[in-house]
Chain A
């Protein structure tokens, strides 16, 4: 499958007038004295999949983690510039990270289910945020989240078994179910398929395409084919700078920047 045809498969949802869900303005990230990200300006459209690509160490994961302030947990990490979620500046002191992370969920590179039952894994978020009013409510959220994550048929008979006993691909879908159970507005995915085999990867990619009906998704990926297959917008990072961003089909068929072209054709990276 050529890159061009792959890109056209995932046609962008046309909502031309909708304001961007998240905007980064002059975002810079420092780890101690070392600057890892320089002046990134990026708009993330609602109900679209935005993929961040680039070689290792280019700052794409750093940018992703600054979108829900997971960088806060790293000692000595400092973020400059401004990131807005709808109208709210997420680095404003009045914003609580707990609320922010309930609105901006995250799926990590390595599947990291809690060493608890499958049910408990999905129910934990709704429980701590008080989303479910009663047990029936909670059951409903857990079941629908597992269904939307495409895991329901595989686990419906063993909800009380440990989540760590599932296969790698199933664990990652469990993590996605866990993330969407808190009903976030934005879903961040940090190389969600890098630890999975091609079949599990295909399942997750299909899932991402379905999820964008309800969620705004930002995905970091090393695989350009994956970016082409699942995303509507692509941003290319290199050495901590945002080199080029735009519609995925444009980036892959007609990059404006020489570095982008070198990267997608495999000359750097």
Chain B
């Protein structure tokens, strides 16, 4: 009897005669596909690791700052030589504090204050930020005049870099920013325990400054915070309301199709175009102030709206129609159906979309350049109408600076920005969890 005559028998009699389903080929294809996937993930993770290592490696030093603790003599003859502070408090503000700082350091180093050359070196050793620091001490408590106190002064940016080992000391003295004399002093003060590297609060509190050691993200942080608040307050209600209307109430016709196409197109418009729009509409037409977070926030609102609308509509569409039927079937009005049943189920999706939109807005730079938020702002804004900058803009400005100390600050600022983005994503995950558990 042949195999052809008994096909079923061949299937069941032993392994040697089993039919060929191409299993080997299929398994190989599956194995290859999984391999491609794993390779793709490894490449992605690798680049992420390189990015993080490079940024953190360059930037972590920005979070500490070299400081010099020396006894400072608040000499009355320098601060208030005519002894008129009782009648004219202005003298305490305008006194020559840098000299006090220099004298204090010179004394600690054992350098004579008459040595003009050495004093010039000392002037470059201590940060000019000690001016406002000492002034604040004296203005807050004038009774310190005439006494001597231990004060922690900021070191100048180049000394800070040298202390962090970022300056190559093997190159000849005239080709680097710190002199051998200063390096010697640094070592001497280290021996005496006067040099410390505390956490650099200035990085997140100071405003703009041309001196790296007194430049910080304070203004940018406040500006970004105001803008995020404005985006959240404006874009979320408008976006969700628009989506609910389009998805649940509007009749499907040409006009709503046209609106839908335009919303999708708006999501793809380059952000700099929104900047131009903001400049033309908010600043030129409505006369709002330049460089203000309110304008930045409104521009970013316009930019974020399409993202929120698209995410919200997708979230609403993913609510099963049976829930809508159930609500309508027991006599709920359309509005009750939406707000009691559909919207709560769509909330996790809406929140995710909103936070993704906000995160995109937080990292946006181009439109802010056009409305004047790239500016030298030294004082923290008190209201959204005051001039401010934003985190990514501050990074952009610092990246253009030449000093070595600004390089680490740029990376430090990027770390701060990434931290904020990570926090926002965490918030998105937590909110999702919370709302999903409720339902």
Chain B contact patch, size range: 20 to 34
Nearest CB on A from B322, distance (A): 4
> Considering the complex, which residues of chain B in the window 320-379 have a beta carbon less than 8 Å from any beta carbon of chain A?
320, 322-333, 336, 340-341, 345
Q: Which residues of B contact A128 (CB under 8 A)?
A: 330-333, 336, 340
B322 adjacent to A179 (CB under 8 Å): no
Say yes or no: is A98 at the interface (Cβ < 8 Å to chain B). Answer: yes
Chain A residues within 8 Å of B, Cβ to Cβ:
68, 70, 73, 75, 97-102, 105-108, 110, 112-116, 124-125, 128-129, 162, 175, 178-179, 181-182
Of all chain A residues, the one with the shortest Cβ separation from B336 is A128
Nearest CB on A from B225, distance (A): 36
Main secondary structure of the interface of B (DSSP, over half): helix
B326 adjacent to A182 (CB under 8 Å): no
Q: Which residues of B contact A110 (CB under 8 A)?
A: 322
Which of A75, A101, A182 is the one whose CB lies under 8 Å from B252?
A75
A114 adjacent to B341 (CB under 8 Å): yes
Q: Which residues of B contact A75 (CB under 8 A)?
A: 251-252
Which of A70, A99, A129 is the one whose CB lies under 8 Å from B325?
A70
With contacts A105-B329, A106-B329 taken as known, whether A112 is within 8 angstroms of B251 at the C-beta atoms is no
Q: Which residues of B contact A116 (CB under 8 A)?
A: 439
Of all chain A residues, the one with the shortest Cβ separation from B436 is A115
Nearest CB on B from A164, distance (A): 9
Q: Which residues of A contact B345 (CB under 8 A)?
A: 115
The distance in angstroms between the C-alpha atoms of A89 and B158, with both chains bound, is 89
The distance in angstroms between the C-alpha atoms of A125 and B329, with both chains bound, is 10
Which of A99, A100, A175 is the one whose CB lies under 8 Å from B326?
A175
Interface centre among B328, B330, B332, B341 (most CB of A within 10 A): B330
With contacts A114-B341, A115-B439, A116-B439 taken as known, whether A73 is within 8 angstroms of B331 at the C-beta atoms is no
A–B Cβ pairs within 8 angstroms, 6 of them: A73-B324, A75-B252, A113-B326, A115-B323, A115-B345, A175-B326
Nearest CB on B from A181, distance (A): 8
The distance in angstroms between the C-alpha atoms of A106 and B325, with both chains bound, is 9
Chain B residues within 8 Å of A, Cβ to Cβ:
251-252, 320, 322-333, 336, 340-341, 345, 439
A125 adjacent to B252 (CB under 8 Å): no
The distance in angstroms between the C-alpha atoms of A75 and B330, with both chains bound, is 20
B439 adjacent to A112 (CB under 8 Å): no
Nearest CB on A from B323, distance (A): 6
With contacts A73-B324, A75-B251, A114-B341 taken as known, whether A108 is within 8 angstroms of B439 at the C-beta atoms is no
A98 adjacent to B333 (CB under 8 Å): yes
Q: Which residues of B contact A181 (CB under 8 A)?
A: 330
B252 adjacent to A114 (CB under 8 Å): no
Q: Which residues of A contact B336 (CB under 8 A)?
A: 128
The distance in angstroms between the C-alpha atoms of A182 and B345, with both chains bound, is 24
Nearest CB on A from B339, distance (A): 11
With contacts A99-B331, A102-B331, A179-B329 taken as known, whether A112 is within 8 angstroms of B322 at the C-beta atoms is yes
Which of A99, A162, A182 is the one whose CB lies under 8 Å from B330?
A182
Q: Which residues of B contact A114 (CB under 8 A)?
A: 323, 326-327, 341
The distance in angstroms between the C-alpha atoms of A75 and B247, with both chains bound, is 13
A182 adjacent to B331 (CB under 8 Å): yes
Q: Which residues of A contact B322 (CB under 8 A)?
A: 108, 110, 112
Of all chain B residues, the one with the shortest Cβ separation from A116 is B439
With contacts A110-B322, A114-B323, A115-B345 taken as known, whether A101 is within 8 angstroms of B329 at the C-beta atoms is yes
The 5 closest A-B pairs by CB, nearest first: A112-B322, A102-B331, A101-B331, A106-B329, A125-B330
The distance in angstroms between the C-alpha atoms of A87 and B336, with both chains bound, is 28
Q: Which residues of A contact B327 (CB under 8 A)?
A: 114, 124
B326 adjacent to A112 (CB under 8 Å): yes
Nearest CB on A from B338, distance (A): 13
Of all chain A residues, the one with the shortest Cβ separation from B324 is A73
B330 adjacent to A179 (CB under 8 Å): yes
